[in-house]
Amino acid sequence: MDFTSIQKKHIINYMGAHRIVLGKEAYTENAIWVEACIKGLFYPHKKREENAMFSKKAVTLMIVLATSLSLLLSACGPKTPVSLPPPAAGTTAPVATEAPAQPKKVVTLIFTQEPDTLNLHYTNMWFSAILQQLWNRWAWEYDENNNPFPVLVTEMPSVENGGLSADGTILTLSLRDDIVWSDGEPITADDFVFTWEMANAPTNTVASAYPYSEAVSVEAPDPQTVVVTFAEPFAPWLYFFHGILPKHVLQPIFDAEGTLDNADWNTNPTVGAGPFDFAEWESGSYLRFVRNDNYWGDKPKVDEIFIRIVPDDASQIAALTAGDGDVGIFIAYPDIPTLEGAGINVVKVFSGYNEGWYFNMGQNGHPALQDVLVRQALAYGTDRFIINQDLLLGKTVPAATFWDGSPWADPTLMAYPYDQQMANNLLDQAGWVDSNSDGTRDKDGVELILRYGTTTREIRKDTQAVIQQQLAEIGVGIELYNYESDLFFDTFGNGGPVATGKYDIAEWSDLPGGFPDPDTAYWRCAEIPSDDSPQGVNWEFICDQELEDLFALQSTQVDTAARIETFHQISRIIFEKVYWLGIWQDPDIWAVGSRLANVKLSGVTPFFNAAEWDINP
């Protein structure tokens, strides 16, 4: 039977949302047939497609889904068994001469957000970044204690081994001589130079050119040596060479098109440098990575990493508790008791992440947000403590700074307390009063109604609802907006709603870009994107010269104690001026099923030991 693309998408989404398992309880020949038939229908599509939006009523949709699924299972159902005659008298049945093929080892990860790209230079999404270690190793990565270790290099650069000059201006990398791309081509210093060139090329609308923009030059004196030169000491050099690009694949594309923005490799990377190869991506459904037979390191113990994309946290928890997934990602605190009750191991990993508010201080933001008194009033007017206690089960606390949980945060700073009276006084002082008695404050004919946007994640939507009610009590109106994650985090060049300033308050969880190094480009003046310069991650459109000077200073400080003190000053300015408001401390919460062995998780490069993962017998 033939099915339309819409029917196929209905069926896949229905299966994902309702956790349909084929052959889970009894993996019979019939189940194998059904699974093979479905894979035959749906696995050939390798390129991403635009998500379709359906507006039919829920009842009608369910009927369509159920009908389509029934038709599919009928079309793909087991064939009628054929009875074979017994062997003739006096003959012997043939004896098998080959051992039966061993079943493939497939590890299933559950994602609640779909990656927006596989090219690290074009994304701000955590769900995209964490895939790197599966298929494209970095110069150095981080272990389960967040300590760096060499991967593509022979050793970590230091002053002692000559990898870092005494004045901190020259970084020298010695590459391994056995590293190759998955197509067998050697990985050389030229690939590192090319990566730096592409990050800085003005025709590439990367998410940010930082930190590559800080290097004066990157050179390859020989195939195994990379020399990076800075104009002045650059303390966060560990931030470099995440996501190496294959020159032999992408240089011809850049030469022909003048940009990598539209390169098919971004979502369909034909070569990589990790233990697994990218295999296929069915938008809205799954991604597959299979064993890389040309991998230069220890060969992976499993055959495939299958990433199932589900619509929400509830679907992820259902899949994990039903045994349909091995690893759950980005677990919400309210779901921890359910997982633990099902015997699933819940692992907390410090990753530098903190959930917080970002304020639009640009020309498209609400004028009230230009006043620090209003931003302080919003901090006092939101009871983040009750949110942490009720919605997050008291398992975390409000974050005071962007660097909470690290020595870079000023330990004297405490989260703003909930104080409605203080919030009202500050708003009155700022001149925002309810002059027309409509329940919302106003000033100069402008109502104090703010656009509050975030993703579709349930815990965030619940937080929005609570805060909307709390702020209404101090006369602040809130309009709620929710976006699919790939749209919400999209870049300025692609018209992302946050990047282009279509918000007043935006909420998400983030970390310093060079974590565990504290450096970040978020509040740097040069990182404000524009039509003329779409690269940049300063989506608050803030340019505070005092803050800019301190960020510039810290990047040159090789003395750790001095740099910590500078970051304490930075965190105090952001705290007092409320450029960022912490909602909760947000370490990574993972769920690991009992079927999976040898799993270690890092807060920086989570899947650093994916080649060692195995399936318990």
Tokens of 345: 């191991």
Nearest to 380 by CA among 553, 84, 578, 132: 578
The C-alpha atoms of residue 601 and residue 318 are separated, in whole angstroms, by 23
Q: Is 355 helix (H, G, I), strand (E, B) or coil?
A: strand
* Residues in the chain, pLDDT under 50: 1-94, 96
Beta bridge partners of 174: 225
Dump pLDDT digits (tens) for 552-605. Answer: 999 999 999 999 999 999 999 999 999 999 999 999 999 999 999 999 999 999
170-174 and 225-230 beta bridge pairing: antiparallel
On whether the CB atoms of residues 366 and 360 are closer than 8 A, the answer is: yes
Residues 6+ apart with CB under 8 A from 7: 68, 71
pLDDT, one tens digit per residue, over 531-557 is: 999 989 999 999 999 999 999 999 999
Residue ranges in 382-419 assigned as alpha helix (H): 384-386
- Name the residue among 184, 190, 214, 74 with its Cα closest to residue 173: 190
Quote the pLDDT of residue 97: 53
* Contact predicate 328/599, CB 8 Å: no
pLDDT at 40 (0 to 100): 36
Angle at 138 between CA 215 and CA 488, to 5 degrees: 85
Structure-block tokens of residue 279: 């295999």
Residues 6+ apart with CB under 8 A from 376: 416, 426, 578
Q: 328 CB contacts (<8 Å, ≥6 apart)?
A: 110, 316, 317, 319, 320, 339, 344, 590, 591, 592
SS3 441: coil
Measured in degrees and rounded to the nearest 5, phi and psi for residue 564 equal: -60, -45
544, 550, 553, 554 alpha-carbon torsion, rounded to 10°? -120
Do the Cβ atoms of 356 and 580 come closer than 8 Å? yes
Give the span between the Cα atoms of 414 and 407, in whole angstroms: 15
Task: Count, in order, helices (H) and strands (E) of the chain.
Answer: 16, 21
- Tell the residue number behind the tokens 């969880």, with chain if given: 509
Task: Walk across the sheet containing 505-510 and list its strands.
Answer: 477-483, 449-455, 505-510, 354-359, 580-585
Residue 382 · residue 582 · CB < 8 Å:
no
Which structural domains are found in the chain, ordered by start?
1-77 (no CATH), 146-260 (3.90.76.10), 276-347+591-615 (3.40.190.10), 354-586 (3.10.105.10)
| Residues contacting 85, CB < 8 A, separation 6+ | none
Report how far residue 143's alpha carbon sits from residue 156's, in angstroms, rounded to the nearest whole number: 14
CA atoms within 13 A on the CB side of 7: 15
Cis bond leading into 516, ω under 30°? yes
Instruction: Outline where 513-602 has alpha helix (H).
Output: 545-554, 560-576
Per-residue confidence (pLDDT) for residue 430, from 0 to 100: 98
Contact indicator for 516, 352 with CB cutoff of 8 Å? yes
Helix (H) or strand (E) holding 2: none
Give the helix, strand, coil percentages of the chain, each rounded to 5. 30, 20, 50
> By the 8 A CB rule, do 206 and 121 touch?
yes
The residue to which tokens 């470099």 are assigned: 240
In single-letter form, the type of residue at position 527 comes to E
Q: Mutual orientation of helices 458-472 and 372-381 as an angle, nearest 10°?
A: 110
Cβ neighbours of residue 285 closer than 8 Å, sequence gap 6 or more = 12, 13, 16, 42, 308, 309
8 Å CB contact between 488 and 498? yes
Pairing of strands 148-150, 106-111: unpaired
Q: Which long-range contacts (CB under 8 A, 24 or more apart) does 520-524 make?
A: 520/402, 521/208, 521/210, 521/211, 522/402, 523/547, 523/548, 523/551, 523/574, 523/579, 524/210, 524/548, 524/551
CB 585 within 8 A of CB 568: no
Count the neighbouring beta carbons within 10 Å of the beta carbon of residue 231: 11
Q: Report d(CA 310, CA 308) in Å as an integer.
A: 6
Task: Give the integer Cα–Cα distance in Å for 188 and 139.
Answer: 12
Q: What is the distance of C-alpha 584 from the center of its chain?
A: 18
